[in-house]
Amino acid sequence: CLTLNHTLILNFVTCDVVAGPGQWEALCSYLSLPSNLLQVYSSQRVVMEPLVHRWCCHPGVRQTLLGGGVIVRFPRESNRLIELPEDYSVLINQASSFTCPRSGGDKSRAPTLCLVCGAILCSQSYCCQTEVDGEDVGACTAHTFTCGAGLGLFLRVRESQVLFVAGKSKGCFYPPPYLDDYGETDQGLKRGNPLHLCHERYRKIERLWRQHGVAEVIGHAQEANQTLVTIDWQHL
């Protein structure tokens, strides 16, 4: 019976029948076998060696090992933020052509770029407010619940300002990744100097996002500046 179970489980693996989450564990449990094949091999080596040899000689396995099939490679590539243009004027041109989707083609007063998916939103405007859990929220806050599980990273294009949002009531502003020729930011675009992407600054923002450090940055910023606590972040 044990030999039959070993044969069945190897045949299932060879024929690609076992697919999808939980199916391998369910099959091993049904056959009263451990889900770790190394345990099966070490406990029943005399029985398993010819079966493993048979599996390795299968045409499909040999074709895959010779490069004729698809091999899943690990680890997976980490998620990344969107690619930003080198010249900030490209973003300004994109924002200038963006129209509010709910106001009949009017220009958006505060176009905001999502750094996670690349969507441009009509932020800080009543026209694009939506209801989330019985409360009216702005376009950016609503977008975080569909794009980032309640957490969002945005670039306010006309202010050259990065916006971090966590939930409906927490947020902060963060230095943008665009610098002028003197290595300084121009939040609010008051000086009007040409701005170019600083890859090191953008990678720092990306690391915060990857390492789930955005919420911590928001917390530290609000502790240091109580004015941030009074801002209605849910309306952005």
| 56-84 pLDDT tens trace | 777 777 777 676 666 666 666 788 999 99
The count of structural domains within the chain is 2
Q: Could you tell me the residue range of the domain that residue 57 belongs to?
A: 2-68
> Does 60 map to a domain?
yes
- Asked, as a colleague might, if the bond just before 75 is cis with ω within 30 of 0, I would say yes
With respect to residue 158, please indicate whether it lies within any of the assigned structural domains.
yes
- Residue 93 backbone class (left: φ over 0; alpha: ψ -120 to 50; beta: rest): alpha
Position 148 confidence tier, pLDDT thresholds 50, 70, 90: confident
Q: What is the pLDDT of residues 100-117, one digit of tens each?
A: 776 666 677 788 999 999
Do 208 and 137 fall within a single domain?
A: yes
In the predicted structure, residue 89 carries a pLDDT above the cut 90:
yes
178 lies in some domain: yes
- Provide the whole-model pTM: 0.67
Please, which residues bridge with residue 166 across strands?
A: 151, 170
What is the per-residue pLDDT for 40?
A: 65
